[in-house]
A and B are shown apart, each in its own frame.
Chain A
Amino acid sequence: MTPALAPASPADGALAHDPRAGRPAAGLRATADVPSHVVRFDRKTRLLHGVVMTSFLGLSATGLPLLFSDAPWARALATIFFGFRAAGYVHRFFGAALLLGIVFHLADVAWRAFVRGERGLFWGPTSMVPQPRDFVDFFGMLKWFAGLGPQPKIDHFAYWEKFDYWAVLWGTGVMGAAGLILWFPLTASRILPGWMFNLALFVHGAEAALAIGFIFAVHFFNGHLRPGKFPMDLVIFTGRVTARELQHERAAEFERLRDTGGFAPLASDAPTEFSVRRGYVIGTIGLSLGLALFALILYATIR
């Protein structure tokens, strides 16, 4: 096999993903082997991210007044939702939406694995399950940070993306369980002693601080704000990346697909103008709300 892409100029390389699409990115020539664009996230995954993102923002905005109840902005933020009682209803609505989203996702994974017999879900280069390779990649990144080596070749999911995924799963499980106990304390008291409410409230708050800080700082940086992605990566909204971006960002995956002829089922056109625009709007709203809430937390913490 030969490299399938025309050489990219350095200027093109700086902006790996050109979302202003509708046309192939400059410097990219689709060939028989390598399509111009590749599907990274299917519709179901994008929808799941949409549900998680919306409910997470809603949960944060309605929960933070309680977590930082002595902050000067707490009452005002709760009042945006018409007081703590209505904010509580909004919180429960989004909590239920997030839980449902995760339950559907788990059911979908189980269906794909056990009914459809999809391979590579639980192990392999495209699996979310941490692989030995992730540790190699991690030390490769450290070397690269230190200037001692090239950026490691990443496959389908990078280790920081896997961390995001498992953090959401863990967080939703823990906070969902604690949240349900606090939502239905009388029902819970039929099987649990009352001090479990204390634990539930504590864990819900601590886990919230962790999750909110993690998403609005770490995930935002890794996914969107870091050099090379700034101000945002549209792939989760359009679902597609250019093959050249794939080669640049996930060299291991690119080479694997190229060498195994795996591009064919993933080949795709450029995202439509509408899809890109919608991605920018959603991304801008999400990032702004998240960063605003993060600023409130910082203010409450260091004041």
Chain B
Amino acid sequence: MWIRFGSVVAVAWLLGSQAAAGQTPKPPANDDCLACHGEHVDAKAFDASTHGPMACVDCHADLAKVTDFPHADKVAKVRCASCHDDIGAKYKDSIHAWAKEKAGLVVAPACADCHGKHDIRAKTDAQSRVFRATVPVTCGTCHDGIKEQYDRGIHAAKLKIGDSRAPSCADCHTAHGIQRVDTDSWRLKVTAECGTCHAPVVDSFRRTFHGKVTSMGFTAVATCSDCHGAHDILPAANSASRVSKARRVETCGRCHTGANEQFVKYDPHPNPSDYRRSAVLWWANRFYWVLIPGCFGFFGLHSALWFWRGRKQS
């Protein structure tokens, strides 16, 4: 009897202590926070944001256990990576993170500088700071001069008229793992990036000395941006373009000192199968398509027969 009573008490105590642990302290609700912070946190904007269903203390996690309000002045920094750990890892390796955390450049951006704080919207949302067409504006808050260049180019113009394939900043630079642009690896990678849209152009580039050297992983020769520019790329038909007829001598001359009108008649994107682009190359291609298989076929057969007869005889 006593034993049974004792066990009932023990179970009740155990349950009670568990319930107590779960109950106190009760984390502050969003309304509790807004009672004080309603002035600078726009509740409507927050509700409309992608984090709208979440509690303030989901991000401001150190306040979840605070019972004594108003809380201390100094609160812990929000750690976006506690949920977005994959993106956090990419950011950690980026030039932005390096600048902020290692080089002490305090204006370098962390998450909130691009995505906002309480009004974060999905990148598919036209009102988002990181919506495709808005990304240049967001990046331009710091990279003002680059944005000016970008706005002059064909990619910005296409983006503005709603061409979803036109690249904005993040398409080439990536969104989170942004690297220095003067590294070999980045220079080689970005050529492939141009190729995601301009595939035949990159193929023809690969037929040239420029393309072959970079294909081996050496970077001392021209890649796309060296001739076309990086941000203010314009079609060759536009006389302001670096690759327009008017500016080719200047553009080639940046590496090939002394380049002249004759020199720049070189085709940096040759295609031997395109008769209209170059009849000479087309004919040369044809010639070697006959000569090479012809020679190898003839002497291949000659050698094979000789080998066979020679073996038989010896």
Contact = CB atoms under 8 A, between A and B. Distances in A.
A247 interface: no
Contact of A198 (B216, B263, B270, B292): B270
Contact of B260 (A189, A206, A210): A189
A228 interface: yes
Contacts of A194: 262-267
A226 B215 contact: no
B69 interface: no
Interface in A172-210: 182, 185-186, 189-190, 192-195, 197-199, 201-203, 206-207, 209-210
A228 B296 CA distance: 22
A78 to B, nearest CB: 6
Contacts of B311: 227
Interface string A55-97: 0000000000110011000110010000111000000000000
A66 B303 contact: no
Contacts of A123: none
Nearest to A220: B303
Interface in B67-83: none
Contact of B284 (A145, A202, A213): A202
A43 B102 CA distance: 69
Most buried by A among B211, B262, B270, B309: B262
Interface residues of B, number: 47
Contacts, number: 132
Given A190-B262, A194-B264, A228 B310 contact: yes
Q: Which label, helix, strand, loop or mixed, suits the secondary structure of the A interface?
A: helix
A contact residues, range: 35 or more
A298 interface: no
A74 to B, nearest CB: 5
Given A69-B213, A78-B218, A186-B259, A197 B266 contact: yes
A186 B212 CA distance: 21
Contacts of A165: none
A202 B217 contact: no
A226 B212 contact: no
B208 interface: yes
Interface string A141-152: 110110100000
Given A186-B263, A194-B266, A198-B278, A210 B285 contact: no
A199 B313 CA distance: 47
Which of A202, A214, A218 has the largest number of chain B CB atoms within 10 A?
A202
A206 B287 CA distance: 10
A209 B289 CA distance: 11
B260 A203 contact: no
Contacts of A144: 309
A41 interface: no
A206 B284 contact: yes
B284 A147 contact: no
A291 B266 CA distance: 36
Nearest to B260: A189
A209 B311 CA distance: 29
A182 B262 CA distance: 14
A227 B307 contact: yes
Contacts of B213: 66, 69, 84
Contact of A213 (B270, B296, B313): B296
A222 interface: yes
B40 interface: no
- Indicate the member of A145, A147, A210 with the most B CB atoms within 10 Å: A145
* Residue of A14, A192, A194, A201 with most chain B CB atoms under a 10 A cut-off: A194
B292 A210 contact: yes
A226 B263 contact: no
B314 interface: yes
B275 interface: no
Nearest to A191: B262
A227 B256 contact: no
B281 interface: yes
Contacts of A104: none
A182 B259 CA distance: 14
Nearest to B270: A198
B186 interface: no
Interface in B280-298: 280-281, 284-285, 288, 291-292, 295-296
A210 B291 contact: yes
Nearest to B264: A194
Interface of A: 14, 65-66, 69-70, 74-75, 78, 83-85, 141-142, 144-145, 147, 160, 163, 182, 185-186, 189-190, 192-195, 197-199, 201-203, 206-207, 209-210, 213-214, 217-218, 221-222, 226-228
5 contacts: A69-B216, A144-B309, A195-B265, A210-B295, A227-B306
Counting from the closest, the 9 A-B pairs by CB-CB distance are A227-B310, A194-B266, A194-B265, A69-B212, A189-B263, A206-B288, A145-B305, A69-B215, A218-B299
Given A69-B212, A84-B220, 10 more contacts: A75-B217, A78-B216, A186-B256, A189-B260, A202-B272, A202-B281, A210-B291, A218-B296, A226-B310, A227-B314
Interface of B: 206-209, 211-213, 215-218, 220, 256, 258-260, 262-267, 270, 272, 278, 280-281, 284-285, 288, 291-292, 295-296, 299-300, 302-303, 305-311, 313-314
